[in-house]
Structures are given as C-alpha cells and as structure tokens.
Structure 1
Amino acid sequence: MEPVEIQVAFDPRLHLFVGPAQRTAGATVRCDGVSTLGHVVESLGVPLTEVGALRVDGAAVSAGHVPAAGEYLEVEAVGLPQPAPGAGAPLRFLLDIHLGTLARRMRLLGLDTAYENPDVGDAALAAKSAAEERIMLSRDRGLLHRRELFAGAYIYSNRPAQQLDEVLTRFAPPLAPWTRCTSCNGELREISKEEMGDRLPSGTQRTYETFAECSECGQAYWRGAHAGHLDAIVQHAKSIVPERR
C-alpha cells in the first residue's frame, strides 16, 4: 500500500517520549499504510503502557485501527487511577534493578513487589511479568515496549519518594503496612520475644515487646530507631490512598 500522512496530537503528559516535532498538536506523521495505530504510536517513542484513549477524528478507536490518509489522531495519557489489569486479581508488581529503594518502600506498605537484582535482562523481566501477572515498573522505555509484558508503567521520577507517589496515584492499591518483608517480599508473622531468642541485642530485649519474622527469609523485625521515618512514609501513603472499608 501507498504511504499515508496523518496528523497527531499527543497529550502533553506524553511529550517526554516524543521528539520536538511531535509535541505540537496536529503534527504531520507519515505512515506506511498497513501498520496499526499502536505500532505508529510506539514507533514515535511512546510505550503503549502510557497510552489511554485513542481517538481518530473525534471517535474512539482501538490500537488495532489502521490509519487512513488525512485522519487526525489524538493520543491521551493513561487515566488515573488506572484500572487494575486482569480479572480482579490482586495487584502484583515487578521492579527492575534501578528501583531498589522504591521496592523496599512498596513492601513496607504491604504491596506484593518482586525486585530483580542483579539485572537479569529485559527478556527475563518481561517473561516473569507475564508468567506471574505482575505489573512491570521501570524507567527503561525499551523494556516497556516488549509485547510479552503482562502490564507495565513508566516511572517518571528518579527520586524514591516521588516514585512511590507515582505508583500510589496511578494504581491506588490497597495498603497493608507492616505485613511484608522489605528485604525479600515474604509475608511477616508475629513472634514472641521468647521465639526471638538470642537474635535480640540486650538493649532491644529490655525496650521492645512486639516482634515479627519473615516467613520466607527469617528476617526479624521490631520498632527501632528508624520507626519514625517509616511511620511518616506509611502515613503519607495513606493520605494518597485512603483506607478501603
């Protein structure tokens, strides 16, 4: 088929992904006449994980639509909060090697968060996302273009506190603070001071009465010197995602 030209308007929130020429509403884009809108949008640099509604000449279309000459395409950013992928399954996340601090903060809030360190490569991450139905969180745009992903989301900030705000705002996940191991993602169980045995420093034995242990790696937890800082993270998260009843 003959190449065609269309006009494209990207939501300003997507301008990060496209070149300067495509940041003006109505920018002309040349297509091959056979590729879908999804392919066209991705070829311009935008992962489909970040795309919401697609409209051609004002009418909603799917990513499978093949554009015709002269059409006007509007590409919106994903809506917030984003509906959970899958058929009502609990939200599960997968983070790449660059998001270790974010992974620990998400686990602090009780979010099921797998974290790959060291780097296992994009193919393995995408395969794990698909096999375990986990939402891939990454700052790697190329990784989010992979077709086999179960679902994905780009992390815009490079600051952990802002990254966590992004995740909470985008997915509004149910929170269950203090229920997961921040080291391995295992579930925590309460244990007695006696069960802790000689794992406790003498000062801790005298000061604290409530303890927990990871059911997977055995890591022990109690309220220590950093409790105030962690409490602040939890309370801030609850202000973004109100408790569900």
Structure 2
Amino acid sequence: MNGPEISVSFAPELGLFVPHERRGGPSTVVTDGASTLGHVVESLGVPLTEVGALVVDGRETATGHVPAAGETVTVRAVPRPQRVPGAPLRFLLDVHLGTLARRLRLLGVDAAYESTDIGDPALAARSAAERRVLLSRDRGLLRRRELWAGAYVYSDRPDDQLRDVLGRFAPPLRPWTRCTACNGTLRDAAKEDVADLIEGGTRGAYEVFAQCEACARVYWRGAHHDRLAAMVAAALEEFGEAVR
C-alpha cells in the first residue's frame, strides 16, 4: 500500500490477531486510498466477526467507509453477550470442534457439526443457507464473504471453548433435549418401544429412556451420567437456569 496514512488502535481483546507492534496503542497504517476500512482491518489480521464497532474520529462508521488521510480509527471488540438478529440462534461447527458440538447439544443448543472436512466454501454456504453462526478457529474461514455470521473460538480446550461460546452468545439452555450424536430432538421413550435397540443388561438395569427423533439413538442414565450431569449443572450455575 502507498497512500493515505491513518492511525489505528485495537481493543485489548483483539490482541491475539494483530502483530505485537500494533498492540497496546495507536499505530500508523498506510492504506491504498481505495480499500474499505473493513478490508484494511482484516488485512491487519482481525476477522470482522470479532469486531464490535469501527470508530473513526469519534464516530461509529460502517465497514464500507474508505479511510482518508489523518483519520484516527479505533477497532472495538464484539460486545458480550452478542445478539444475533433475524433468526433463532443456531450454530455450525467446523470439523475441528466435535467435542464442543457434543457439549452444546448436551445443553440443548442447536449445534450442527461437520465431522468431515467439506471445505471452506461449503461450510460458509451452509452457514448462509441455514442462517447459522459458524464457529471456527480458522481465521481465513471466518473472512469468507458468504458467511451469514461467524465467531472465532478463542481456546483449544473444550472446557474453555464451551464457556467462551455460552458467555458470548448466551443461548437458551435446554439440557437433555438434543441428541449428542446428530443434533436431533429427544423424546421420552417407553422401555418396550426401544427394547430391541438396547442390550439385555441395560433393559434390566434401567427404566427411563429417551430416543432421538432423527437417528433413533437411545439414551439412558448410564455410567457417564454423573459426569455429564456435573457439566450441565456447572453451565446452568454460571450461565443461567434451564429454559422450560
């Protein structure tokens, strides 16, 4: 770039995305005089999914603004909780976030997940077609223009990832209502109706069952229930009561 110089500062929360020398205060950026402010910010490493507001000389400005020489730009972080207008809150997770997808489903959050790598264009297209917030740690994927909405997942640890998403979007929690395998809706099931789908020991030991309306998988309070129940209880304590 060889054009107007502007001054840009980033919110501390965005420090992960920008070079060290641009953290902590304003820095000079040379633009080409034609690119939009949104393009400039992304060229500096910050996906627009993580930007809450662009403030130019004290006024909030659209991403389509073309910077002029001498302008002072402040790039704010996305607010939390973040509201996603225009559709029920639903998520789409990329191939690397399978554990997070299962934990969101355990809490009753609509979380579609691609268990194979279908490629960035297909993921972005599905986000747009189904109006789902795409969750990913791939910054390049989050810059794709066809996305309906997206969010960067800041940690590589599933516990922290779950807290990050719940804290950012505050989705309604309806524990034990979704299939952790396919994201389908669970319904109560009588033992006799699912007897052919479970082993004899399970039939003798348990009386309460649920079944996925989409994939027919059967659930009961087995050996892992206490661990899952503790996870659910912790999420409800920190992020709100379950929706009835």
Common fold: TM-score over 0.5:
yes
Distance in structure 1 (CA, Å) of the matches to 2:40 and 2:56? 13
> 1: CA distance between counterparts of 2:130 and 2:24?
39
Q: For residue 242 of structure 1, report the CA deviation from its aligned partner.
A: 1.1
Amino acid at match of 1:82: Q
Report the equivalent of 1:217: 215
Counterpart position of 1:78: 78
Q: Partners in 2 of 1:45 and 1:239 — Cα distance? A: 35
State whether structure 2 residue 150 is matched by structure 1 residue 159: no
* 1:98 counterpart residue number: 96
Q: How many residues matched?
A: 243
| Paired AA for residue 200 in structure 1 | I
SS at structure 2 position matched to 1:75: strand
Return the alpha-carbon distance in structure 1 between the equivalents of residues 213 and 69 of structure 2. 59
Contact 1:173/1:241, CA 8 A, preserved across alignment: no
Greater shift, 16-25 or 178-187, is seen at 16-25
- Secondary structure (helix, strand or coil) at the match of 1:97 reads coil
Take 1:198 and 1:218, find their aligned partners in 2: how far apart are those partners?
A: 12
The 8 Å contact of residues 195 and 203 in structure 2, kept in 1 or not, is answered as no
- What is the aligned partner in structure 2 of residue 150 from structure 1? 148
Matched, 1:10 2:10: yes
SS in 1 for 2:16: helix
Q: What is the RMSD of the two structures over their aligned residues, measured on CA atoms? A: 1.5
**The one of 103, 107, 116 aligned to 1:109:** 107
1:229 aligns with 2:227: yes
CA contact (8 A) 1:139 1:156 kept: yes
Partner deviation per Cα, 1:23-57 (whole Å, 9 max, x = no partner): 14110000111111111101101000000111112
* Equivalent residue, structure 1, for 2:49: 49
Aligned to 1:30: 30
Point out where structure 2 has 5 or more consecutive residues left out of the alignment: none
Provide the C-alpha distance between the structure 1 equivalents of 2:30 and 2:230, rounded to a whole number of angstroms.
50
User: Deviations for 1:89-117, whole angstroms, at most 9, x for unmatched residues?
Assistant: 21110000100000000111111111111
Structure 1 unaligned spans of 5+: none
Pairing 1:193–2:194 present: no
CA distance in 2, matches of 1:83, 1:173: 10
- Please tell me whether residue 175 in structure 1 is matched to residue 173 in structure 2: yes
Please state whether the residue corresponding to 1:17 is helix, strand or coil.
coil
8 A contact 1:174–1:241 mirrored in 2: no
The residue that corresponds to 2:136 in the other structure is 138
- Amino acid paired to 1:17: F
Give the CA deviation at 1:211: 0.4
Deviation at 1:70, TM superposition (A): 0.9
TM-score between the two structures when normalised by the length of structure 2: 0.96
Match of 1:119, as an amino acid? D
Match of 1:65 in 2: 65
Contact kept? 1:168, 1:240, Cα under 8 Å: no
- Write the distance in 2 (CA, Å) between the matches of 1:111 and 1:51: 24
Cα deviation, 1:100-158, whole Å, max 9, x if unaligned, reads 00000011111111111110000000000000000000000000000100000000100
Q: Distance in 2 between matches of 1:201 and 1:57?
A: 68
Quick one: which amino acid aligns to residue 100 of structure 1? G
- Is the CA contact 1:10–1:75 (under 8 Å) kept in the aligned structure 2? yes
TM-score, scaled relative to structure 1: 0.95
Q: Is the 8 A contact 2:12 2:24 kept in 1?
A: no
The Cα of 1:201 is off from its aligned counterpart by 2.8
User: What letter is aligned with 1:95?
Assistant: L
Sequence identity (%): 62
